[in-house]
Amino acid sequence: MSDAILSVRGLSRRFGGLQAVNAVDLDIPRGKLLALIGPNGAGKSTTVNLLAGVLAPTAGRVVLDGRDLTGQPAHRVAAAGLVRTFQNGRLFKRLSVLENVLVGAHARHATGFASAVLRLPGFRAEEKALRESALALLDGLGLAADAERAVGELPYGKQRKIEIARALILAPRVLMLDEPAAGLNSGEVEELIAYVSELRGQGLSILLIEHNMGLVMRLADRIAVLNFGQLIADGEPAEVRNTEAVIEAYLGRRKGAHAAH
């Protein structure tokens, strides 16, 4: 697809004898949301780790808007604009909400840790701008009033939103969300859907990994389906939902198939 912002070709990763991701091709259309679904253990999080530079692929290519990012370390990939949230959030529970969002930003910026410690003038100006962006993001997520509170004191639903803010402070060109709705109640899922729709409305390209099919069907422009590391379908939601192989993988009719939760 020519208007893909992210193109993935032949992406593969082996863990010992297990081919966790097997020759996967994906295209994320610019400004659209691609949902990556599949049963437990299908290779979804491994795919995100490969794209984010957290894991090195055994084969394949990752190209972000014409720029080959294959094999680049995570901080370079994030700086290029391909940013992810974690399936199991990694927040600093004792730090404030604002500090947690800012921690994400410091990994990327040129004036890094050393100047933060030395409090150089360039750092102070940048820090002020970053704080303002972080507060604006928190405001958009309904978390402005909680900015100074310790993350550990907040309910789980709010903690999940902070993970998204921490990714967005990096000003991604492609945002990868790994099971953002896991553990959320139905009201929180509705808020998440509204927020993700708004991000896409602003032109952000999104890769969404999710088990909640209702959410996937409401948000996805396209759906790609993984099963045992292989892509078994990729297309428009209505088309993918009726694909025989997808129904089999999800209902576990085929011998050895996993059941989705």
Ligand X SMILES: Nc1ncnc2c1ncn2[C@@H]1O[C@H](COP(=O)(O)OP(=O)(O)OP(=O)(O)O)[C@@H](O)[C@H]1O
Residues that bind Mg ion (CB under 5 A): 44-45, 87
* Binding letters toward ligand X, positions 82-101, x by CB under 6 A: -----x--------------
CA 38 – CA 255 distance, rounded (Å) = 16
Cβ of 114: how many Cβ atoms within 10 Å?
A: 9
CB of 37 to ligand X, least distance (A): 9
Rule CB under 6 A: choose which of 38, 60, 89, 172 binds ligand X.
38
41 binds, among Mg ion, ligand X, none (CB under 5 to 8 A by kind): ligand X
Structure tokens, 164: 């998204």
CA 140 – CA 91 distance, rounded (Å) = 19
Burial track 159-176 (b if 16+ CB lie within 10 A, e otherwise): bbbbbbbbbbbbebbbbb
Alpha-helical segments (H) within the chain: 44-51, 74-80, 97-106, 113-118, 121-140, 156-168, 186-201, 213-219, 237-241, 244-251
Q: 12 or 87, CB closer to Mg ion?
A: 87
CA nearest 43: which of 33, 63, 57, 29?
57
Cβ of 259: how many Cβ atoms within 10 Å?
A: 10
- Is 21 in a helix, a strand, or coil? strand
104 touches ligand X by CB under 6 A: no
CB of 91 to ligand X, least distance (A): 19
Which residues ranging from 118 to 177 are in contact with ligand X (CB under 6 A)?
Answer: none
CB of 179 to ligand X, least distance (A): 7
105 touches ligand X by CB under 6 A: no
41 touches ligand X by CB under 6 A: yes
40 binds, among Mg ion, ligand X, none (CB under 5 to 8 A by kind): ligand X
20 binds, among ligand X, Mg ion, none (CB under 5 to 8 A by kind): ligand X
* Residue 35 parent element (H or E): strand 33-37
Rule CB under 6 A: choose which of 7, 22, 46, 159 binds ligand X.
46
Span from 36-44, 108-116, 190-198, 242-250 in contact with ligand X (CB under 6 A): 36-44
Span from 13-21, 94-102, 130-138, 235-243 in contact with ligand X (CB under 6 A): 13-21
Question: Which chain residues interact with ligand X by CB under 6 A?
Answer: 15, 18, 20, 38, 40-46, 87
